[in-house]
Structure 1
Amino acid sequence: MNKMRIILIFLILILFFTLIIFSDTNIINIINKNLSDIRNLHANNAYLVELYYFVIYIFLTTFSMPVAFIMGLLAGMIFKPITAILVVSFASSIGATLAFILSRFIFRDFVREKFLKPYDRINDGFVQNGMYYLFAIRMSPIFPYFLVNLVSGLTTMKISLFYLVTQIGMLPITIIVIFIGKGLSEIILENAQISMELIILFTALGLLPLTFKYLFKRITN
């Protein structure tokens, strides 16, 4: 692969991630047209593509853009499973922690005013149940991912505890989403049929948060 082709594909990759920030309407078409080239670029420039993805993911999460699911799918499509899990897990946790820090030290008043009710609920839960509450809401759909990052910054929770619980709590869903992305890439590139494995993963994706939501209610009650 010559240098001009590498540059061209890399520019497509930049455009690909930029479009995710501003619009999700054409994502499927972009994936269909460019996934093969992006994977070839990764095969020839693995560390560069992984670093670029890592930085973009942290940036998006830090500024509370709700793209965790689609970014997880992309990692599963482009990277090997172990690499994808490591990159997504650390990028999402670092980005979430940076959002937590920004909320605590810079946007505290704005976040408190904007999300007063969720703050009261999360703060009360943290006071009563400590880190177990954060772990539970990370695993359940009670609050959006970005909202937990922002509102948790207003509590007395330690930054290190927030990071640790976030990384552990989000790992199961991260793994499921990445393997869904892997299955979707096989469908796109090889015209494969939807496998039983993919159906099971989609089912797990739906049931896992609901299961933890049920357990969470049992614990808090």
Structure 2
Amino acid sequence: MTKQSSTDEQGDSQSGSARSWWLKGLALCGFLAAIGVGYYFFADQLSLKAIAEKESALQEYRQAHPVLVYVLAFGLYAMVTGLSLPGAVPLSLAYGWFFDLVPAIILVSFASTTGATIAFLVSRYLLRDIVKSKFGERLSTFEESLESEGPFYLFTLRLIPAVPFFVLNIVMGLTPIRVVTFWWVSQLGMLAGTIVYVYAGHTVPSITELAEQGASGILSRQLIIAFIVLGTFPLVVKYAMKRWKGTDARN
């Protein structure tokens, strides 16, 4: 290989690297701009009070465009979770009230997982350096726990929100976990919470009542029990798995 050809290859490599950084920079700017625009236009519209003010209009639109409403609702929820905007819980409650129970659970379950996976991918391919500088210490803890516990660690964090979901999504993007694994574990792990929140919204006669009374207006004995089960279930499963592993090791 001649000196000239070696120099040309180095130049091509540097040029390709520069183009890659430019593309990542543009994509990052676009993502941040989307967050800003989404927050500016939708932050005030995602509260229960804002939704309650449009209650009649929303019901009329649903009757006129039944399929389109599901598509728009899915896109809105995925956008909110994907851009880490506040509003997932109010939307879960509102969807439970607005749609039939089972379709609402399916809608919120898949939309929330889609949004979480979008945030996961953005963190992995666009925000790696930023997230690493921000959550470096926590990242090492996540990686160690994933290595020792496997996907069950993510499953536990989905069931017990000890870490905010938006933080969990972006930090997991920097771990070696596969995208498919992140998807199905998140889908299963968030399902119980989705059912509880959607059911809570489904028990409310109207969004106006929910906005006026707050959480106290929907808390019943059944819901309180459901939240208790939701919090203790992963601990019981984890304990059972430890006992099973201990028994298996002795055998």
TM category, shorter = 0.7 to 0.9
Specify which of 75, 85, 96 is matched with residue 65 of structure 1: 85
| CA offset digits 1:161-200 (Å, max 9, x no partner) | 00000001111110111111112244747xxx99998513
Unaligned runs of 5+ in 2: 1-37, 244-251
| Cα distance in 2 between the residues matched to 1:27 and 1:197 | 16
Instruction: Describe the SS at the equivalent of 1:22.
Output: helix
8 Å Cα contact 1:173-1:205 kept in structure 2: no
CA shift, 1:67, in A, is 2.3
| Cα distance in 2 between the residues matched to 1:86 and 1:217 | 26
- Counterpart for residue 231 of structure 2: 210
- Count of paired positions: 202
Q: Which runs of 4+ in 1 moved over 6 A?
A: 17-20, 193-197
| Aligned-pair identity (%) | 30
- Counterpart for residue 65 of structure 2: 45
Specify which of 78, 99, 121 is matched with residue 101 of structure 1: 121
- Counterpart for residue 5 of structure 1: none
Larger radius of gyration: 2
| CA offset digits 1:134-165 (Å, max 9, x no partner) | 10000002111111111111111010000000
Instruction: Describe the SS at the equivalent of 1:184.
Output: coil
Moved more, 110-119 or 75-84: 110-119
**Root-mean-square deviation (Å):** 3.1
Instruction: Describe the SS at the equivalent of 1:23.
Output: helix
| Cα distance in 2 between the residues matched to 1:23 and 1:61 | 16
Distance 1:35 1:187, change over 3 A: closer
| Cα distance in 1 between the residues matched to 2:70 and 2:176 | 34
| Cα distance in 1 between the residues matched to 2:169 and 2:43 | 21
8 Å Cα contact 2:196-2:226 kept in structure 1: yes
| Cα distance in 2 between the residues matched to 1:60 and 1:114 | 22
8 Å Cα contact 2:94-2:207 kept in structure 1: no
| CA offset digits 1:103-136 (Å, max 9, x no partner) | 1111111111112233222221111100010100
The alignment status of 1:199 with 2:220, answered yes or no, reads: yes
The alignment status of 1:143 with 2:163, answered yes or no, reads: yes
8 Å Cα contact 2:77-2:115 kept in structure 1: yes
CA shift, 1:66, in A, is 3.4
| Cα distance in 2 between the residues matched to 1:197 and 1:65 | 24
The alignment status of 1:81 with 2:101, answered yes or no, reads: yes
CA shift, 1:34, in A, is 2.1
TM-score, normalised to structure 1, is: 0.79
Q: Give the aligned residue type for 2:197.
A: V
| Cα distance in 2 between the residues matched to 1:60 and 1:116 | 25
Instruction: Describe the SS at the equivalent of 2:204.
Output: helix
